[in-house]
Chains A and B, each alone.
Chain A
Amino acid sequence: MAVIPFLILFPLVISVVMFSVRVNRIRNAIAYASCAVIMAATVALVVLWAQRGGGVQQYYVNTEAVNRVILLAEVVLMVFVTICCVRKRRWYISLLSIVPTLAIVWLETAGPARAPLAHIYLDNLAVLMCLIVGFIGCLIIVYAVGYMHGYQHYHRDIPDRRYYFFFVLFLFIGAMFGFVLSADLLWIDLFWETTSVCSFLLIGYTTLPEAETNSFRALWMNLLGGCALAAAIVLDALHTSTTDLHLLVNDCRAGNTVSLICVALIAFAALTKAAQLPFSNWLLGAMVAPTPSSALLHSATMVKAGIYILFRLSPAMTGNYCGMMISFVGGFTFLAASIMAIAQDDAKKVLAMSTISNLGLMVACAGVGRPETLWAGVFLLIFHAISKSLLFQDVGATENSLHSRDIEEMQGLLYRLPKLAIIMFIGICGMFLAPFGMLISKWAALRAAVDERNIILTFFICFGSGTTSFYWTKWLGKIITRSSKPKVKDITKKNEMLSLWIHTILMIGICALFPFLSGLFVDPLVTQIFGSYTQVIPNRILVLLVVLILFFFAVPVVSYLRSRNMAMNRKLSYMSGINTGNNDAFTGSCGQEQPLVVSNLYFKKVFARKVLMLPCEVISTAVIIVMLTMTIGGAF
């Protein structure tokens, strides 16, 4: 299938083009065209895959020449990272890149001979990831073209390096395609490191001191994961003389203890990439970059790479210490991050916290290692990718118009920026309300956790569910609260709006179609990975839920239309003082006018990141160390 190398290489070629074209208009046109091509190629991949009968397909066994190129690329990457680190006087970080790369080089040149393997592995999960990367990723790029124009216009102090920004974006997309399609761990390692470096470059885009600090934090955390991955690869190659990810999982399921160590190391690496505690700070620091990069990191690429690899490893983690580690860290992160999200009033920070929290739930699903939890995890992945990308783009666009991303400033957004507010509303609903998608996944995860008799995870999900609702509902309320502030001019560009509407339609469409999606695509996916699967939530209930969704949309709309023309005597609200007539101030006891400020609860003293992050990091680090030690110790 020639479309596979095309999908990986085309974005790489385009990224070079992006870097070399310095005329904005031309570069934008190329970006649009390439996005269309990538989406078309993704569709072509799906069609070709389906024509060949779907299921598991393997390609490209003899790839000697490509292997060399990959090795070379890895060394180039190492040199690049080293130069970056040394130039900014952080040479010690480069060690995290040099050591694993040298180990890989040694393995390929002087290591034991390895059995041939199919390097490309195409199944439902890979296809799903390709769809997410191809479509969501490209829509984000379309959005970025418009957004960056406005961004550079308003941030004169930041050097205009859009050529560089789009270079990294396309590189990222290419690396992600490579990552999800490869079966050879050596290939996966290269793409893994590439995404790490890409995120480092994106976060450092503005070159401000804060961006620099945060980008290096992201770099060392992800490279640390890369070290674990490289260690796993070397160990696996020495032990079984192959570097096939799928064989590794099978070996581990067969009870091979050394393979379990490899799995645990890779799972550890995935924790860093998925920004789980104690590695959450890098994703929070990524906020300093322009919004499209956050959208990309949070929804379609980076963090999803960690989740993807955990889903692959999921069958190998059933009922062992590794699985316990992953499900504990995931569940704990779900709860802790959702509590910390309560204290945030910056919209982007709330989104970031909620990403970490939701990823935690996915990680926990993978860690339990049951077909049912994987089903829940995959749906979480789908819904989260769409709604988070939607929300980030929407908050970015709102920020451009409103010049603030403080949630308190968003009071009455529905009346001041109606379009963006409605989209934001739908996005938030998708994140937690019944009967939208995320809730169903949470539901399935909960049932599976109970069936597994996983007490701690059950508690994490129950409490996390409460705190999650709290911070989202709070935000929803702010959007629709009446405000007397004037309307804001909506300066959202057409292409930004296009991307937003496509996301919204996708979101609602997937909500409405998900029983079909489940039966047609996700059930086979789980069966491919686990070999067997029984439904957690019966189809009958799924269909009922879809009916509920329609109902859910119908009730407010119908009653809104009915009440719109209803006669009503408008009165001013009660204020314990004389309302000055506009619902925004009252006359106080001393006769002077007091402006009214209504604020949400944030519990900043108790739930702030400053207060909670350190203890959470300590706990999760301790659990990881103990569990990893037990896994490794258990092998001997």
Chain B
Amino acid sequence: MEVSRIIMPILYVVLAPLLGALLTGCDRKISARMQRRVGPPILQPIYDVIKLFKKQVIGVDRAQGFLLFTNLILTVLTGCLFCLGMDLLMVFFILATSSSFLYLAVCVTGSPMSSMAAQRELVQEMAVEPATILAALGFYLATGSFGTLRIASQPVSAIIKTPGFFIAFCFVLTVRMRKSPFDTAQSEHAHQELVQGITTEMGARNLAMFQITEWYETILMLGVAALYFLNSNPWSILLAVVVILALYFVEILLDNTCARLKWKDLLIDLWAVTLLCDGINLIILMMI
């Protein structure tokens, strides 16, 4: 138990970006096949990042680099706290702080495209924050603890008591993974209304840092999703992995089939889902 306590964060720091990259690689491959293309190799995201690091450093503003770096460090830190079994609420609060650094990094340039994207990013943050906090509260009500390790070692999985919270969290996941229909702030493909969204003014090392941060964050969010299924039975790990992969596939499917929402609709939709799913689940958990 004690050894695993230290090993888990280390594993996270080392493996999360690799896993994230692999998932992104698969994502691209599957997307390409859905569009009847061959698609890039699965390891392409890793090649991309390595190449970005080798490039000459170009930027619009010097401050962007250190803000993005802070975002990266805080995200990694959040993930480590998560793996250490810390308070889930604290994890989410610090994650929100790291997101504000991303916002600052994006709008520090004063460039029109990225500033507009930054505003949308902020709307997204506002849209997902209630559902994120409520997810932590849901775990607490279901298992009596905010500690991630405690939640994961209950006799029954948390999902039994918190299906509503899980549904709302899936929406949060879509926003966090920047998938359609909720990818208002960053459009993966060029020549859309926001050019490259929040990454418009990021180049070379900065873009690489942003990419790695995204991987860390994705793995962390998937980890939270896994918490819904983990219990004291080791086989639950398999279940969690299967569910997460299925979830990821659904996200890819959505990404390829949905049109992007306007940010106003995004806000309304997410809050409505939060109120409805989280609300009903919360009332049931609190009343019983």
Contacts and interface: CB of A to CB of B under 8 A. Distances in A.
Asked if chains A and B come from one complex, the reply is yes
Interface of A: 411-412, 433-435, 439, 443, 446-447, 450, 453, 455, 458-459, 462-463, 465-467, 469-470, 473-474, 476-478, 480-483, 541, 544-545, 548, 551-552, 555-556, 559-560, 562-564, 566-576, 583, 596, 598, 600-601
Nearest to A538: B87
B122 A473 contact: yes
A465 B110 contact: no
B169 to A, nearest CB: 13
A177 B279 CA distance: 44
Contact of B108 (A434, A443, A480, A572): A480
Contacts of B115: 481, 598
B52 interface: no
B130 A463 contact: yes
A543 to B, nearest CB: 13
A563 B58 contact: no
14 contacts: A435-B94, A446-B89, A450-B141, A466-B130, A469-B125, A473-B104, A477-B104, A482-B61, A556-B70, A563-B66, A569-B56, A570-B60, A572-B60, A573-B111
Interface string B92-127: 011011001001100111111111101100110111
Given A556-B66, A559-B69, A573 B110 contact: yes
B8 interface: no
B77 interface: yes
A466 B119 contact: no
B195 interface: yes
B201 interface: yes
Contacts of A435: 93-94, 97
A541 B137 contact: no
Nearest to B133: A462
A429 to B, nearest CB: 9
Secondary structure type dominating chain A contacts: helix
Given A455-B282, A470-B125, A446 B137 contact: yes
B129 interface: yes
A446 B133 contact: yes
Given A462-B133, A559-B69, A574-B113, A434 B94 contact: yes
Contacts of A474: 119, 122
B96 A434 contact: yes
Given A450-B140, A601-B122, A571 B58 contact: yes
B52 to A, nearest CB: 14
Given A435-B97, A469-B125, A560-B63, 10 more contacts: A411-B110, A462-B129, A463-B271, A465-B133, A466-B126, A466-B128, A473-B103, A477-B107, A545-B90, A555-B70
Given A476-B104, A574-B201, A470 B110 contact: no
User: Which secondary structure dominates where chain B touches chain A?
Assistant: helix
B189 interface: no
A503 B113 CA distance: 37
Nearest to A551: B77
A558 B121 CA distance: 26
Contacts of A567: 57
A68 B96 CA distance: 57
B73 interface: yes
A481 B62 contact: no
B133 A434 contact: no
B164 interface: no
A574 B141 CA distance: 48
Contact of B62 (A439, A446, A563, A596): A563
Given A465-B129, A573-B112, A600-B119, A450 B67 contact: no
A574 B119 contact: no
Contact of A470 (B67, B111, B126, B141): B126
Nearest to A483: B110
Contact of A443 (B63, B93, B100): B93
B74 interface: yes
Contacts of A568: 57-59, 62, 65
The 5 closest A-B pairs by CB, nearest first: A573-B111, A466-B129, A559-B66, A434-B93, A482-B110
Contacts of B109: 481-482, 573
